Amino acid sequence: MTTRPNTDNYLDLFLNDIPMMDVRAPIEYQKGAFPHTVNKPLMNDEERHLVGIRYKQKGQDSAIELGNELVCGDIKAQRIEQWIAFTQKHPEGYLYCFRGGLRSRTTQQWIKEACVEYPLVTGGYKAMRRFLIDELAISAKTQNYRVISGRTGTGKTRLLKRTPNFVDLEGLANHRGSSFGRQLTPQPSQIDFENGLSIELLKARHLRSGPIYIEDESRLIGRNAVPQEFRDTSTISDIVVLEAPLEERINIVLQDYVIDMTNAYQQQAGIEEGFKLFSEYLLNSVSRIQKRLGGEQTQHLHALMQAALKAQQLDKSLDAHKEWIQILLSKYYDPMYDFQLSKKAERIIFKGDQSSILEWIGQD
């Protein structure tokens, strides 16, 4: 392997999705990391804890001595083997620890002793995280954003992904942004969400051109909070309103929240258990907005949902779902959306269906 120098070119790392090996302990990695990284720790959580105690009590030299005692023999050999496997799979990659200090240099030295030269990221996780925080602020202040708005079920995400330069906030948060928006896989940590957003904005700035399209989101997307400086910009940006007839919106909601979610649960848990879990998801989603719907309306929707679920399970009929979807759209989501949009009317620069908006963007 040709020797490559260590790097502090964080922009290049993130723009090009360079694979990186994070040698911090798992607990550190879970709190915050970057896309296209894997955790191959020098020390596990318990080993790190013990070394940390020794460091506080007796200093660095004693801590290093304990670390070498804990990570030795077969344990050391197994970890070196994992590191070398990563270097072979990703010859263009790098390794890093928290500050680009002792752990990354130790890892680098140990694999060098196994005849593998592999570079590290100077400054480590802390410097890269600082870089992304600073760049997020720059992206928020300097870029031209256009917000895609529209009633629930108009297909805003579908439209977003057909624009020439977009950042998918809901995709980054792994949540659709409503009471029904929870996905089967967990949302990222807040730090991971912020890191991912900053990286996508870097790509929008440096690799593409023109306005950056985003969806109209509230402060929270599930449990992930949109960073304040980015939200401050999005709440004053121009708005493009996507329109669609009610029947089309009902069918989009049916596809996204009934058909797709049924399939996802059944693929994960099997036909019977998956349908049970899907049913719980659907009923619980309505229960989350009971305070706004009122008890009587919630009970009515639950009854309609249960009847629709029974029909879906017995004969795979989906038509009954359309009744509760129509009520939820017209009685809950539409009035709420119309009120919110009325306060933003001066920011609207275009309205239309998906085809007309895409045509307008092309002529822009």
pLDDT grade, residue 280 (50/70/90)?
Answer: very high
Q: How many CB atoms lie within 10 A of CB 343?
A: 8
Same domain, 282 and 306: yes
Q: Give the pLDDT of residue 312.
A: 95
Rounded to an integer, the average pLDDT of 88-94 is 96
Same domain, 183 and 231: yes
Q: Exposure pattern of 288-315 as b/e (b: 16+ CB <10 Å)? A: ebeeebeeebbeebbebbeebbeebbee
Task: Indicate the pTM of the whole model.
Answer: 0.91
* Angle in degrees, CA 331, 334, 340, rounded to 5: 130
Q: Give the pLDDT of residue 288.
A: 87
Same domain, 83 and 165: no
Domain range for 153: 130-245+346-363
Amino acid (one-letter) located at 85: A
pLDDT grade, residue 160 (50/70/90)?
Answer: very high
Q: Give the pLDDT of residue 64.
A: 81
Same domain, 15 and 116: yes
Answer whether residue 317 is part of any domain: yes
Residue 63's contacts (CB-CB under 8 Å, 6 or more residues apart) are 51, 52, 54, 55
Same domain, 280 and 321: yes
Answer whether residue 2 is part of any domain: no
Domain boundary among 54, 89, 124: 124
Answer whether residue 1 is part of any domain: no
pLDDT per residue over 294-330, tens digit each?
888 899 999 999 999 999 999 889 999 999 999 999 9
Rounded to an integer, the average pLDDT of 155-172 is 96
Same domain, 203 and 324: no
Looking at the chain, the whole-number percentage of residues with pLDDT higher than 70 is: 99
Average pLDDT, the chain: 93
Q: State the total domains in the chain.
A: 3
Answer whether residue 141 is part of any domain: yes
Lowest-pLDDT range, 19-33, 56-70, 348-362?
A: 56-70
Same domain, 223 and 289: no
Domain boundary among 80, 95, 124: 124
Same domain, 178 and 44: no
Which of 1-10, 142-151, 328-337 has maximum average pLDDT? Answer: 142-151
Same domain, 82 and 215: no
Residue 212 has pLDDT above 50, yes or no: yes
Active site residues: 97
CATH code assigned at 233: 3.40.50
pLDDT grade, residue 1 (50/70/90)?
Answer: very low
CATH code assigned at 25: 3.40.250.10
Residue 150's contacts (CB-CB under 8 Å, 6 or more residues apart) are 156, 216, 241, 242, 243, 244
